[in-house]
Amino acid sequence: MARIAFIGLGNMGGGMASNLVRAGHDVSAFDLSEAALAKAEANGCQRAGSAAEAIADAEAVITMLPAGKHVRDVYEASVIGRAPTAAILIDCSTIDVATAREEIGKAEAAGYQMVDAPVSGGIAAAEGGTLTFMVGGSDAAFERARSYLEQMGKAVIHAGGPGAGQAAKICNNMLLGASMIATCETFAMAQKLGLDLQTFFDISSKASGQNWSMTTYCPVPGVGPTTPADRDYEGGFASALMLKDLRLAMEAAQSVDAYTPMGAHAEELYARFAEHLGGGAKDFSAIIRMIDDSWTRP
């Protein structure tokens, strides 16, 4: 059993912290949201009054925060120089590569080992302990972080040095966003051509057009396995978060002069759906409703 500080108890962090409790760890949790703190406490975490209080005597500090500015604020104000230097620092937020590298550099200069370890899998995987972690950091830091991450996920992969986890995450989600749009376009066209959508799914899921957005996360209600489409696109991975990741991908692409026209178009379409049409709270597969012109603004 280890003493773990967990900072950031939103839809993802709350489930992750609960899995660490179930694994037998002593988890001191903090979030600015009273509701999130109460839920974490009900799931066995110990409530902390501040980030600084949570990290006292911690053997591991795990963060799951909204954006790079929040990661910078928490680590520089409350973690680096305040947590025991023997603690392993693990940031599971999805942020820009530059901030991840900067904060790991500052942590290492202060005597800590730290990794960036963004996740893939969504809320259900966070609660079920089946996330995939893409980890950036030194070999030594990765080995220390691995045991904690394995108790929250099904796959823990060392992507490379500092920032490599974030690079892998935004590349993966750029591909996911673009493939979901293509999948939605295809189903909308198939319907207009008079194809039965379940029959089309049965064909394409076994043919060369097969992809994860179709076979595992089908955007059409009643077709394929159960997905957020069967719950009116509630739960899952919000379109606003997909847009955030696509914007991070475009920022990264610009920084290295990478040509990403499909990624740029995916960002444009998700911006239209999430921000201009009010679909940000719906699952990212709900963009099919914009594509087939059935979307009604909330």
Q: Helix 261-271 crosses helix 239-255 at what angle (to 10 degrees)?
A: 150
Other C-beta atoms lying within 10 Å of the C-beta of residue 247: 15
Question: Which CB contacts under 8 angstroms, 24+ apart, belong to 286-291?
Answer: 286/219, 286/228, 286/229, 286/233, 286/239, 287/180, 287/181, 287/184, 287/219, 287/239, 288/184, 288/187, 288/188, 288/219, 288/220, 288/229, 289/233, 291/181, 291/184, 291/185, 291/188
Q: How many whole angstroms separate alpha carbon 99 and alpha carbon 116?
A: 10
Sequence-separated (6 or more) residues with CB below 8 Å from residue 86: 59
Q: How many whole angstroms separate alpha carbon 204 and alpha carbon 209?
A: 6
169 is catalytic: yes
Grouping H, G, I as helix, E, B as strand and the rest as coil, residue 7 is strand
Q: How many whole angstroms separate alpha carbon 189 and alpha carbon 182?
A: 11
Sequence-separated (6 or more) residues with CB below 8 Å from residue 292: 184, 187, 188, 191
Measured in residues, the chain has a length of: 298
Phi first, then psi, for residue 66 (nearest 5°) are -70, -40
Q: How many whole angstroms separate alpha carbon 257 and alpha carbon 20?
A: 40
Determine which one of 39, 69, 169, 192 is catalytic: 169
Helix (H) or strand (E) holding 159: strand 153-160
What is the identity of the amino acid at 88? I
Q: How many whole angstroms separate alpha carbon 40 and alpha carbon 10?
A: 10
For the annotated catalytic residues, the residue numbers are 169
